[in-house]
Amino acid sequence: MYYKRVMKIALADLTYLSNDDAAQTVPLNVAYLAAYLRQEADAPEIEIFKDPLRLYNAVSADPRSYGCLALSNYAWNFNLNRNLMEMVRSKNPAIIAVMGGPNIDASSEEGIESLFDAFPGLDFYVIGEGEQRFAALARAVVESRTNVRRVWERVPETIVGFDRRKRTVLRGRGPDTGHCDCKALPSPYLSGALDAFLDDPRFVPIIETSRGCPYSCAFCCWGSSTNSRVRPFRTETVLAELEYISARTKNPMKSLYIADSNFGILKRDIEIARKLKEINGATGSFRNICIYFNKNTDEDIVAIAGILKDLTDVTMSKQTLNPEVLKIIGRKNIPEGEYGRFYSRLRGMGVSTYCELIYGLPGESLESFLDGLERAYEENIRISVYPLLLITGTRIASKGFRERYRIRSAFRVMPRYTGTYGEIGSAEYEEVIVSHSKFSRADLARVRLVLFFHYLFSEPVFGDLVLFMRGEGLNVAAFMRFLADDRADRPAGLEALLRSLERASAEELVAKEAVKFRFTRAEVNEIREKSVDQNVFHFCKLLSSKGRLESFKGYLSGALERFCASRSPDADREGMGDVIEMCFDRLPDFPHVETGKRVRYPYDLESWMRKGGNLSGFRTGKKLEYALELDEGRLSVFRGLYEESGDAGLSLYRARMTFRVSEPSGVYTYRRTPVG
């Protein structure tokens, strides 16, 4: 009976929510803490929050009803937490403020100090897994009758604080409990802790089937924070949770996240995959499952992919193909040849696969990154490329790493993570690489150009061109590099567009000194209106001007011809011309769009797209007819936006972002189907 007096706890995993959002996950992390605490016979009252406005309103209505505010801290809610904690403290100065989560450099006193400087109202930070440590803290707080000084004798060293007067870090002096035994943790789903969130259509369920990651990639918080063997939850509990979620979730996307770092690393994950398939077959509850697969792909991953093939993609992330860089970041990929074999097998099974790469990793020059990109393209797989993010709590963001590799960074605001709640205005930044000892600012500008073309060729509208190039043995990434460097031959319209992209990409970066956490409502609105995904926005600008698009089409044909002349003089020139026509046929004339039209080509395109290979092998004796159609609903969204703004590029961009989850390219790409 250690909770000697009532202490109502507000447990929050805050996020920037909007009413039209259906992609935020339920607060699983804090629900685990709640379920753990509630096991006690005299457990305190706990309220779980995800929506900042709900927390704001609850505290404003009765500030003194809460004895403790506990916030989960990550890069996407750091400033939101600062703002909410400040507001709660101002209304209830006696409240005990606790935080936890990987977004802290706990490896140095300096890192802990800087976190406490950012949160002047913070009393305790829980490092590592929270269930047992937070429970120990709650117990100690109550037993010490909120006398903070006496708490330190009763809590483990993984709980830290800061003496602001002496400027010293405080640490618990009690024994630490170590990693949790996942099999002994109560389920937040089965205990009902997440019912209210499953009932709310804005939230996507997320489940942990295991904890820990045996790898320790330097850029990743996950590895740095858990860095341990994989610890499974009970299989029966996981299966029962899936049944429970399926029966209760109201999320219209029918999505599910699996939070494990390496799903498929355990043999029993096959059984979980079968259960997912079975439940989806019976109820349709899990149509989109987001999984981070074990990066050392093996037969079990192939088996799981075969079971879940219509419900998920298989990520086979490499991050870099440079062995020296892999060593620096502490990562080991499977040999390149083995990736290729897995891709082919998975493709043969109809499984969608993709690979992630990071540019700007320490030790990686621009040329070595682009060489790796070319090799990745040879494997005929979807590729996502990200800049190196310096996430607090990762080894790469530590002072030592920054100094050793002369890492320079800047910050950019994340428009998706902005919002106003009562009088609070908030926005988040991400810290991105600008340069290091082998990568200059000029390299950054060049890689952004290459990646604009990468984005362009990843759009389904240029799918025919990519397929054609693959069939001819031409490397698409090498062509992207060629286009990025082909400045002298670019038409003026395209050149202006690329210069605008370059300027905007540089302007969105701000120095650390300019980063702030309080925003006015007007500033939040301005960020939302003006901050855009530069690649998507500039692509939309390209599509929205008939003249610019025409000159781009002519330029692309000529550039491809010049590229082929040096790489593949025997490439099929007739097919090349046809394929360019086919790509541009799929682009409507914005802003005055026809909803559909018919086209005729001398190719069996359906068979070509299924089988791949040389386009010439699918030439037919006569022309076949194809219907090109645009979705009326999506088109009406564009028209509505265009009527309001009169800016076709911006309207196209906004319409595209409206459908960012479900087939966004359907906004500006005719769907092509054979007639007859």
Rounded Cα distance, 266 and 404, in Å: 37
- Using CB under 6 A, which residues numbered 287 to 316 contact ligand SF4? 295
Pairing, β 124-126 against β 159-163? antiparallel
Pairing, β 168-171 against β 159-163? antiparallel
Of 211-219, 249-257, 484-492, 637-645, which part binds ligand SF4 (CB under 6 A)? Answer: 211-219
Residue 326 in contact with ligand SF4, rule: CB under 6 A: no
Instruction: Report in angstroms how near the CB of residue 60 gets to ligand SF4 at its nearest.
Output: 39
Beta bridge partners of 68: 9, 96
Instruction: Report in angstroms how near the CB of residue 595 gets to ligand SF4 at its nearest.
Output: 44
DSSP state of 461: G
| Residue whose CB is nearest to ligand SF4 in the complex, by number | 223
Sequential DSSP letters for 81-108: HHHHHHHHHHH-TT-EEEEESS-S-TTS
Residue 543 in contact with ligand SF4, rule: CB under 6 A: no
Contact 93, 73 (CB under 8 A): no
One-letter identity of residue 472: E
Sequential DSSP letters for 391-448: -TTSSTTSHHHHHHTT-EEEEEEEEEEEEEETTEEEEEEEEEEEEBTTB-HHHHHHHH
Specify the residue, 395 or 481, whose C-beta has the smaller distance to ligand SF4.
Answer: 395
Specify the residue, 289 or 630, whose C-beta has the smaller distance to ligand SF4.
Answer: 289
Specify the residue, 292 or 659, whose C-beta has the smaller distance to ligand SF4.
Answer: 292
Rounded Cα distance, 47 and 55, in Å: 10
Q: What's the residue count for the chain?
A: 676
Instruction: Report in angstroms how near the CB of residue 330 gets to ligand SF4 at its nearest.
Output: 8
Binding test (CB under 6 A) with ligand SF4, winner from 180, 182, 213, 413: 213
DSSP state of 375: H
Structure tokens given for 397: 């963001």
Instruction: Report in angstroms how near the CB of residue 223 gets to ligand SF4 at its nearest.
Output: 2
Contact 535, 451 (CB under 8 A): yes
Binding test (CB under 6 A) with ligand SF4, winner from 81, 83, 216, 398: 216
Question: Kind and range of the H or E element at 604?
Answer: none
Instruction: Report in angstroms how near the CB of residue 391 gets to ligand SF4 at its nearest.
Output: 11
Specify the residue, 217 or 449, whose C-beta has the smaller distance to ligand SF4.
Answer: 217
Binding test (CB under 6 A) with ligand SF4, winner from 56, 125, 152, 222: 222
Instruction: Report in angstroms how near the CB of residue 326 gets to ligand SF4 at its nearest.
Output: 11
211 CB burial (10 A radius; 0-12, 13-18, 19+): buried
Binding test (CB under 6 A) with ligand SF4, winner from 159, 180, 198, 217: 217
Instruction: Report in angstroms how near the CB of residue 178 gets to ligand SF4 at its nearest.
Output: 20
Site map (CB under 6 A) of ligand SF4, residues 243-262, x = contact: ------------------x-
Closest to 321 in 3D by CA, of 407, 227, 385: 385
Residue 220 in contact with ligand SF4, rule: CB under 6 A: yes
Specify the residue, 100 or 393, whose C-beta has the smaller distance to ligand SF4.
Answer: 393
Of 21-29, 215-223, 232-240, 247-255, which part binds ligand SF4 (CB under 6 A)? Answer: 215-223
Of 46-54, 210-218, 275-283, 383-391, which part binds ligand SF4 (CB under 6 A)? Answer: 210-218
Residues that bind ligand SF4 (CB under 6 A): 213, 215-217, 220, 222-223, 261, 295
